[in-house]
């Protein structure tokens, strides 16, 4: 999955409000990963249970005013990390600034996230098609940043049965999901190793969200 023509990926409108900013976070990638490392010292990665049994293939943690969790009460945003009983670590200013700049570049001014959700995919891990609708407001876009191993993102439509398009996401890519795209189905095919030249053994995805 080498990126032979990165210039053609610089800015790509996926559909109805979603904009791929290829390599937008590349220059900051190491700093972002360092910030992730610091966050996970306070709020370690964990595998949540999924409704219906089993556990999520991606390990997760969060920072900011809210974190997303899955427990016996279902999927929801909470202010306290259930693993530690402490508030989630603060959103680093690096995250806030990047999310704001990316949203701005995609046409969404004044984006101030309340949650930075961090997903870690070991080789073989993916995420089945789903909608993100646990936030109490769907007005704001979601900003996502891909780091480490590449992945094939599955981009669907407003209905589960709508056709999916496969979009490769590479180290440093940022996607802003606003407007109608905000409620579209999406997923991640199982990540394969040996897809990246970053030297990282996993894929990391940061998503920045407004919750309420
Ligand atoms: C489109 N994460 O955390 S990021 C998730 O790569 C999630 O870890 C995937 O789906 C990942 O919920 C995909 C891209 C993404 C994130 C949120 C969205 C696309 C989205 C919300 C609405 C529409
Ligand atoms: Fe999602």
Mean pLDDT on 151-170: 95
Is 165 annotated to bind a ligand? Reply is no
Q: Which helix (H) or strand (E) holds 114?
A: none
Which DSSP letter does residue 112 get? Answer: -
Res. 118: pLDDT tops 60: yes
Can you tell me the distance from the alpha carbon of 30 to that of 20, in angstroms, rounded to the nearest whole number? 20
Reported residue count of the chain is 212
pLDDT at 143: 98
Mean pLDDT lowest among 39-43, 93-97, 163-167: 163-167
Count other C-beta atoms under 10 Å from residue 53's C-beta. 6
Mean pLDDT on 147-168: 95
Residue 179: φ, ψ to 5°: 55, -145
Q: How many Å is the maximal CA-CA distance in the chain?
A: 47
Mean pLDDT of the chain: 93
Is 75 annotated to bind a ligand? Reply is yes
| Domains along the sequence of the chain with CATH | 12-44+90-209 (2.60.120.590)
Is 206 annotated to bind a ligand? Reply is yes
Q: List Cβ neighbours of 51 (8 Å cut-off, separation of 6 or more).
A: 70, 74, 75
Nearest ligand 1 atom to alpha carbon 121: 8
Q: Which residues are registered as beta bridge partners of 186?
A: 130, 155
Measuring from atom 10 of ligand 1, which residue has the nearest CA?
187
41 Ramachandran zone, left/alpha/beta (phi>0; psi -120 to 50): alpha
Cα distances (angstroms) measured from residue 189 to each of 32, 59, 91, 198: 23, 15, 28, 20
Can you tell me the distance from the alpha carbon of 208 to that of 212, in angstroms, rounded to the nearest whole number? 13
Collect residues with CB below 5 Å from ion ligand 2.
132
Res. 41: pLDDT tops 70: yes
Q: Strand 59-64 and strand 115-121: pairing?
A: antiparallel
Is residue 152 within 8 Å of 7, Cβ to Cβ? no
Q: What band does 1 get if pLDDT is binned at 50, 70 and 90?
A: very low
Ligand 2 centre distance from Cα of residue 194 (Å): 24
Ligand 2 centre distance from Cα of residue 128 (Å): 9
Mean pLDDT on 151-172: 95
pLDDT at 13: 85
Is 134 annotated to bind a ligand? Reply is yes
pTM recorded for the entire structure: 0.94
Q: What band does 196 get if pLDDT is binned at 50, 70 and 90?
A: low
Res. 16: pLDDT tops 90: no
* 202 C-beta closer than 6 A to ligand 1: no
* 150 C-beta closer than 6 A to ligand 1: no
Is residue 175 within 8 Å of 23, Cβ to Cβ? no
* 177 C-beta closer than 6 A to ligand 1: yes
DSSP secondary structure, 167-202, as one string: EEE-TT-EEEE-GGGGG--EEEPPP-SS--SS--SS
59 vs 12 pLDDT, higher one: 59
pLDDT at 10: 83
Q: Which residues are registered as beta bridge partners of 154?
A: 166, 187
Res. 124: pLDDT tops 80: yes
Mean pLDDT on 191-208: 87
């Amino acid at each position: 999955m080498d990126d032979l023509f990165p210039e053609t990926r610089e800015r790509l409108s996926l559909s109805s409000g979603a904009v791929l900013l290829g390599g937008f976070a590349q220059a900051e990638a190491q700093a972002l990963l360092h910030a992730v490392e610091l966050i996970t010292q306070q709020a370690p990665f964990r595998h949540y249970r999924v409704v219906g049994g089993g556990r999520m293939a991606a390990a997760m943690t969060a920072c900011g005013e809210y974190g997303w969790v899955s427990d016996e009460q279902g999927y929801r945003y909470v202010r306290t990390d259930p693993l530690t009983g402490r508030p989630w670590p603060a959103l680093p200013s690096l995250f806030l600034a990047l999310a704001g700049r990316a949203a701005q570049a995609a046409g969404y001014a004044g984006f101030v996230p309340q949650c930075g959700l961090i997903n870690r995919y070991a080789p073989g891990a993916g995420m089945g098609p789903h909608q993100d609708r646990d936030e109490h407001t769907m007005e704001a876009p979601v900003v996502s940043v891909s780091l480490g191993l590449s992945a094939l993102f599955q981009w669907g439509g407003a209905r589960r049965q709508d056709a999916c398009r496969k979009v490769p996401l590479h180290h440093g890519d940022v996607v802003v999901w606003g407007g109608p795209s905000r409620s579209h189905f999406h997923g991640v095919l199982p990540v394969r190793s040996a897809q990246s030249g970053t030297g990282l053994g996993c894929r990391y995805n940061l998503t920045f969200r407004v919750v309420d």
